[in-house]
Copies of this chain bind each other. A is one copy, B any other.
Amino acid sequence: MAVHSLAERKLADQDERVERCAHRLHRLAKPSGLDAFTTEARTRQFPVRTELLSRGQGITAVTALQSGWAGHVELFPDGRRQIVHLVLPGEIIAYPRPGRTLARSTVIALSPVQVSTWQIDDQRELAALQLAALSTSDAVDVECLSNQIARIGRRSAYERIAHLLLEIRERLDLAGLPTNHGFAMPLTQEVLADVLGLTNVHVNRTLQQLRAEGQIDFARGLVEIRDAETLMRVVDYRSVIPNKTGS
């Protein structure tokens, strides 16, 4: 129970911080001289498993994740599913692009979430915003997708998990959330499995191995990577941040 409330506090802490630095969108917009961008945001809450965006649905607003975790998911007719891309607090879920206003994938809440939307009607403003904040978001996304492919395609279960945790850590960092003393990860092992292309059983066993080896500390939604530098070397992790080739 003590441990549990720690995770809770950690999560709340994260939320607060994302809140505090206004929003990632603003953080990114500012250095690009987009201070003028002040459209009012609308923020709503959704419980876990809510479909935040449906494939084929029209996208009319810039949509970002204030708190909680979400994921772009691919569903197979036979029940298999692959979480193609995780969306972390402070990251963009989707935004309208010229010529592609329909959502290409379904996004679901992997934990209770808070979603903000900005209705931007002025096309010029949207274009400016895209060039500034959103294109960076795109870049990180593409980087994450590439990472994900190399991870699933050529890494062992052990490496996949370690590598993913390192990436999550870096992305939370990027959003301004502190990760030095562990971070909250509100994903079940089953969800983790759907991200990594493994089964929940195998994720469980591999996680145990990582724990046994002292690489990570993972329980009750709290993750701590013992020696990130070393682990990064072990699984050949490269930064996902644009214009950083990653050592």
- Contact surface of A with B, Cβ cutoff 8 Å: 55-56, 72, 74, 76-77, 80-82, 84-85, 97-102, 104-105, 127, 131, 135-136, 138-139, 141-143, 145-146, 148-150, 152-154, 196-197, 236, 242-243, 245
Contact = CB atoms under 8 A, between A and B. Distances in A.
Contacts of A150: 74, 82, 84
Given A74-B154, A76-B236, A100-B243, 12 more contacts: A56-B245, A74-B146, A74-B150, A81-B154, A82-B153, A85-B149, A100-B135, A100-B242, A104-B142, A149-B149, A152-B153, A154-B197
Contacts of A100: 135-136, 139, 242-243
Nearest to A239: B104
Contact of A104 (B80, B98, B146): B146
B131 A84 contact: no
Contacts of A72: 146
Nearest to A235: B76
Contacts of A145: 142, 145-146, 149
9 contacts: A82-B153, A82-B154, A97-B135, A98-B135, A100-B136, A104-B245, A141-B142, A149-B152, A152-B197
B97 A139 contact: yes
Contact of A243 (B84, B102, B138, B149): B102
Contact of A127 (B74, B101, B131, B242): B131
Contact of A149 (B76, B84, B104): B84
B236 A82 contact: no
Given A74-B146, A146-B145, A242 B99 contact: yes
Contacts of A77: 236
